[in-house]
Amino acid sequence: MMLTSKEQIRYSRQVMLKGIGEQGQLALGNATVLVVGVGGLGCPVSLYLAAAGIGKLIICDGDQVEITNLQRQVLFTEQSVGINKAEAAAEHLAKLNPLIEIEAVDEMLDDELANYFVSQADIVVDCTDNIATRYLLNQHCLNHQTPLIIGAATGFDGQVFFTRNRPESACYQCVFPKTDNAPVDNCQTLGILGPVLSIIGGMQALMTIKHLAGLTNPENQLMMFDGSSQRWQHFNVSKRENCAAC
């Protein structure tokens, strides 16, 4: 299998990279990625993945675009207000790259949908701001042994966590065990600076592309970004013996 002439031209700048090449680009073109949440993180994630030539993007979000989203959710315009986010994003992404397939899921992810779509994906990118959805995705990715990249951001700060869901991998619930007193703070209560989302979403997209192209990502590591000092911190995490999920 070879890249078409259109693909060779379109993706030439990343195909020339050591570690990507034509085989890496073909791997991206054969991959299916599930992006859950098309908000502040999901917008840059889906933009970069679509531009990179991911063969099929499944984007899931049941919310509608609101005027307050436009400060940070860079796929949308004022004309998008009132439209479902997944559908509005899919329309924009199809114009960006007509060579790929995009499926919009205009519903909030529940147990049935998570099981169905995670089973189709080569990797899942969690861009939600809902901790219950993160636990749900974590469990279904464990069940299907599907790699998962979770991002989160509030204020000036963000974090990224990647797991391949192998037997030795720490899962999201190992790092953040379920509790009845789990924090519910998000950008609606704490605010958010748009470029922080671009940094975290860009890292999620980078890790997705690297994984699909066969390159190595840091695993069993929580990466935290402080936008005030513009510094990253990396924390090694371990698989919990008593984790209820894995």
With vertex at residue 219, the alpha carbon angle to CA 215 and CA 224, rounded to the nearest 5 degrees, is 110
CB 235, CB 195: distance < 8 Å? no
With vertex at residue 105, the alpha carbon angle to CA 45 and CA 52, rounded to the nearest 5 degrees, is 30
Sign, CA torsion 63/69/73/78: positive
Query: CA dist 62 to 6, 87, 110, 118, 136, Å?
Result: 34, 9, 11, 17, 16
State CA 35 to chain mean position distance: 5
Quick check: is 187 catalytic? yes
**Given 43, 127, 141, 187, which residue is catalytic?**
187
Positions annotated as catalytic residues are: 187
